[in-house]
Copies of this chain bind each other. A is one copy, B any other.
Amino acid sequence: MTKVGIGIIGGGYMGKAHAVAMSSVGAVFNTGLRPHLEMVCASRDASAERYRKAFGFSRATSDWQKLVADPKVQAVVIASPQETHREIAEAAFAAGKPVLCEKPLGASLEESAAMVAAAEASGVANMVGFNYIRTPASQFARQLVAAGEIGNITWFRGEHTEDFYADPNAPASWRTTGMANGTMGDLAPHMINAALALMGPIAKVMGTVETVHKSRPGGEVTNDDHAQVMCRFENGAMGHLFFSRIATGRKMGYAYEITGTKGAIRFDQEDQNALWLYRMDGPQAERGFRKILTGPAHPNYEPFCQGPGHGTGYQDQIIIEARDFLRAIETGKPVWPTFRDGHEVNRVVAATLASSKDETWKDISRF
């Protein structure tokens, strides 16, 4: 059992999630490498120290460069704002250290391109934090689709919808300014990643991106509230994507339906322990979508619980992610989804934004 010193940059929402995951991933998955919470970095010393105590790190800093350079920090988790991703990642790769970077990968397509270049030049492990796709249910969905269990896919519909800005009177904040913090920057990458994982590459898109509430108490809104995309996958299937932060009533609407010539699949993260499967076989009178509860028969479930239907949760996705990152560190090789996979997502985002501007279909190959 080898210890690996983990440095996490950012101690908020995702920083905490990664710290917790690193604390328990070893016991859950009996990993070869065991993470040690070596150092946490936050924008100010006081908050860094607070995170250190709360999450159990050995040391704290407000200087990310110090963290990256520290010899005891053997792998870096970037959970700071998008604008900081590139510089940190490049420094970490330069220092030969594996990086797990939160989504979206960088604040623009140019940045993610540069980050991929840096990652691939370094040759060390690199991964992007698309956590939702790692549930046992969605992993099982990937297997079913890949194995042709529902035939040739003719239709994909995906959405990532939440309602934290549904109230027009919710005040402006950092979230309501900067493209990377809008719906296309913040929510869309998750579902685009899911679409690519489940369906393969997208060939072209036609999108509409919109700021519905142009001002809010406290200021103007400069990024998008919701967006929709018609798309064509390279496998020929037609698709539709919808992203929203104003989807009243939706709390974790990461949901998709996949229609094939032999069956269909439905999933909604709000009931993340169920996958709905329809098979066009058997007697007509007995056909119907079946609600499959995840259990030991599904990917990555059993380490959390031996009983089916007992359920995994949000934090468990991050633990699965941590397991994969540890594997990447151990082998020195990238593990899906890599920076390149994160960049592929950004290409779809960029094409959608361009499409929305001039109202024409955009080939992803141009981005």
Contacts and interface: CB of A to CB of B under 8 A. Distances in A.
B274 A285 contact: no
A285 B140 contact: yes
B270 A248 contact: no
Given A248-B263, A249-B278, A27 B1 contact: no
A178 interface: no
Contact of A289 (B13, B249, B295, B313): B249
A286 B290 contact: yes
Q: Which 5 A-B pairs have the closest CB atoms?
A: A251-B309, A313-B313, A249-B278, A252-B309, A290-B290
A246 interface: yes
Nearest to A152: B168
A242 interface: yes
B297 A285 contact: yes
Nearest to A168: B261
Interface string A5-25: 000000001001101100110
A222 to B, nearest CB: 18
Interface string A129-160: 00000000000100000000010001101000
Contact of A263 (B19, B249, B277, B312): B249
Nearest to A212: B154
A273 interface: yes
B292 A155 contact: no
B19 A27 contact: yes
A248 B262 contact: yes
B278 A248 contact: yes
Contacts of A305: 17, 313-315
Contacts of A310: 251-252, 269, 313-314
B228 A238 contact: yes
Contacts of A1: 53, 56
Interface of A: 1, 13, 16-17, 19-20, 23-24, 26-28, 30, 34, 53-56, 140, 150, 154-155, 157, 162, 164, 166-168, 206, 208, 210, 212, 225-226, 228, 230, 238, 240, 242, 244, 246-253, 259-264, 269-274, 277-280, 283-293, 295, 297-298, 304-316, 359-361
Contacts of A244: 155, 259
A225 B152 CA distance: 15
18 contacts: A1-B53, A26-B56, A27-B56, A154-B246, A155-B247, A167-B280, A206-B230, A248-B260, A251-B295, A269-B310, A274-B288, A285-B292, A285-B297, A286-B290, A288-B292, A304-B315, A311-B311, A312-B315
Given A23-B24, A155-B226, A248-B278, 9 more contacts: A13-B306, A23-B23, A244-B259, A249-B263, A249-B287, A277-B286, A286-B292, A291-B291, A305-B315
B252 A293 contact: yes
A269 B247 CA distance: 22
Nearest to A313: B313
Contacts of A287: 249, 290, 292
Nearest to A208: B230
Contacts of A308: 251-252
